[in-house]
A and B are shown apart, each in its own frame.
Chain A
Amino acid sequence: EAAVTQSPRNKVAVTGGKVTLSCNQTNNHNNMYWYRQDTGHGLRLIHYSYGAGSTEKGDIPDGYKASRPSQENFSLILELATPSQTSVYFCASGPDRGGNTLYFGEGSRLIVV
């Protein structure tokens, strides 16, 4: 069974602090994604990656950085967290061809105070 795990599951951060959300997948998928979910917006793509060493900007990349050090791991980094980044973040993995299913992690709830 495809598996994507995220950590931490819950995080409270202070404004201006640094936050790192981590994602690990055991599916051997080339593609990995970071989405945020907010009421009224559905899921919005922040960053994605085609493989180790690559990161690409999604639709809302401002204020976020990403890192893909290996096939299995994909991190989302908030260098200077702001209250507007309070959200639920989902990591997903998928094969590198269109039309394939995405496999999602359990989500990370971030509150920036």
Chain B
Amino acid sequence: AQSVDQPDAHVTLSEGASLELRCSYSYSAAPYLFWYVQYPGQSLQFLLKYITGDTVVKGTKGFEAEFRKSNSSFNLKKSPAHWSDSAKYFCALDPNTNKVVFGTGTRLQVLP
């Protein structure tokens, strides 16, 4: 069965630092991978996705993610981080069965 692991429940860093949120997945075939962001009190918004092709994908708000098949990871990155990036970030796997699987999320706090 497919699954997504986000090992860091909380990440705190200072504004201007580089951020990297970790995501690993378990799936036997080629995955569709997503990152969504949830700002406090709001719903989830699409950030970026990997379908095929270039392993580094760029999304909104200056974020990018790197797909690494060798270690089944899809880490989210941004440099520099801004206080407005404080939110909860979800990694998700779409196994092309219309049943998207989400990780437990990482709460990011960026200190001004």
Q: Inside 8 A of B101's CB, which chain A residues have their CB?
A: 45
Which A residues from 1 to 59 make CB contacts under 8 A with B?
31, 33, 35, 40-45, 48, 50, 58-59
Q: Inside 8 A of B103's CB, which chain A residues have their CB?
A: 42
Q: How far is the CA of A107 from the CA of B101 in the complex (A)?
A: 18
Q: Inside 8 A of A99's CB, which chain B residues have their CB?
A: 32, 49, 51, 94, 96
How many B residues have CB within 8 A of the partner chain? 24
Q: Inside 8 A of A40's CB, which chain B residues have their CB?
A: 104
Nearest chain B CB to A94 CB, angstrom units: 8
Chain B CB within 10 Å — which of A40, A43, A90, A100 has the most? A43
Given contacts A42-B90, A90-B43, A90-B44, contact A102 B100 (CB under 8 A): yes
Residues of A within 8 A of B (CB): 31, 33, 35, 40-45, 48, 50, 58-59, 90, 92, 94, 96-107
Other A-B contacts than A50-B98, A90-B43, A106-B43, 6 sampled, CB-CB below 8 A, are A33-B100, A42-B102, A42-B103, A96-B98, A98-B96, A105-B43
